[in-house]
Amino acid sequence: MSNSPAPNKQWKISRIELETWLDEIAVARTLIAPRLVSGIFLYRHVTNSSEIAWSEEKSESPHTSRPILSSKEVFFPPTERLFTIQKSGQEIHLEENYPNWETVVFGVRPCDARGVKLLDAVFMDTIPVDSCFARRRGNTTLIGMACKELNSNCFCTSVGGAPDDAHDMDIMLYEADGEYLVEAVTEKGRFLIPGGEWKETSETPPKSTSNGQFPIPQKGKWLEHFNDDYWIKISERCLSCRACAYVCPTCRCFMVRDEMIQPGEFERIRCWDSCGGENYRRVAGGHKPRAEKGERLRNRFYCKFYYYPEQYGLNAESACTGCGRCIEVCPAGVDITEVLLDLEKSV
């Protein structure tokens, strides 16, 4: 099904209609949605709409809450088997892992949808194409939920996004007074809309509140500050725990290793990694290209705002979606917005 833009059509549905639709989807496809797992808000598989966490318990506003981890893990899992190898005598049999199931992700926030789109540049738009990512991407429909306002740590409007940005969705929902305005963004999304069952509307989607925008340093400024002592100073807080990378919608570093399942049977698995780790890119002989913590922390910021855009032709766009998860998860108080503001003021 094509990701091309769909004709501009909108419907208005009740909460009951929405739940009925999601129940039908869950029967025919794998449905992923926000769910509370041991008190943690995550994108997880649900068998029906009653399992969906419509709001995060600790959030004052259910419409600004978003899962702790992004929807990245649906397409690029934290750990995945790439293939298995069976060896019997001189015979070797290799079996690749190809995810073939149809998936719908419900409740995707605009920052997370944009993160998936940015990952396309690495895994799909660049040769060689990552077959596992591409297959999951092609088999998945994104149903977004607009945020009514920004969370305290969100800054999507400063990096080119918006709390109600529908561009990277297949279907977008806007909640208003207990009902939902549904917009089909792509042909893939239109295919999922029940034919003739919903009431069409010409209403304008409610606008989200977008406050607190601040300027992002231009590419030239990043070059100017590469050798600054600022990176050493701010890295004194950093624990190299890599939590920021694991919650980030666009961090895409990984490592590959082989494990023995049993004698004669092996698997090759891919796991998330992070440039913030001390041993990242360590080579034979023990050399570490970025041995110092300041070098590793600097690389994280440059990757988001300079390297990634340059390598993948994002022009003025950054590889940061402004979700603010890294701010919330950092135990040492390293704040990406503080760094951006410091650079903009020329530290």
Q: Which residues of the chain have pLDDT under 70?
A: 1-2, 4-7, 55-64, 316, 347
- pLDDT value of position 347: 56
- pLDDT value of position 58: 44
Measure the CA–CA gap between 51 and 49, rounded to whole angstroms.
Answer: 5
Measure the CA–CA gap between 100 and 32, rounded to whole angstroms.
Answer: 15
In the 8-state DSSP scheme, what is residue 306? Answer: I
- pLDDT value of position 64: 43
Structure tokens at 219: 């590419």
Measure the CA–CA gap between 116 and 162, rounded to whole angstroms.
Answer: 15
User: In this structure, what are the phi and psi dihedrals at residue 135, rounded to the nearest 5 degrees?
Assistant: -70, -45
Neighbours of 277 (CB within 10 A): 17
Structure tokens at 62: 């259910």
pLDDT (tens digit, 9 = 90+) per residue, 186-226?
Answer: 999 999 999 778 988 888 888 887 777 888 998 889 999 99
Measure the CA–CA gap between 347 and 345, rounded to whole angstroms.
Answer: 5
Measure the CA–CA gap between 116 and 100, rounded to whole angstroms.
Answer: 19
In angstroms, how far is the first alpha carbon of the chain from the final one? 49
- pLDDT value of position 55: 64
Q: Please state the pTM of the whole predicted model.
A: 0.90
Measure the CA–CA gap between 58 and 231, rounded to whole angstroms.
Answer: 34
Radius of gyration of the chain (CA): 22
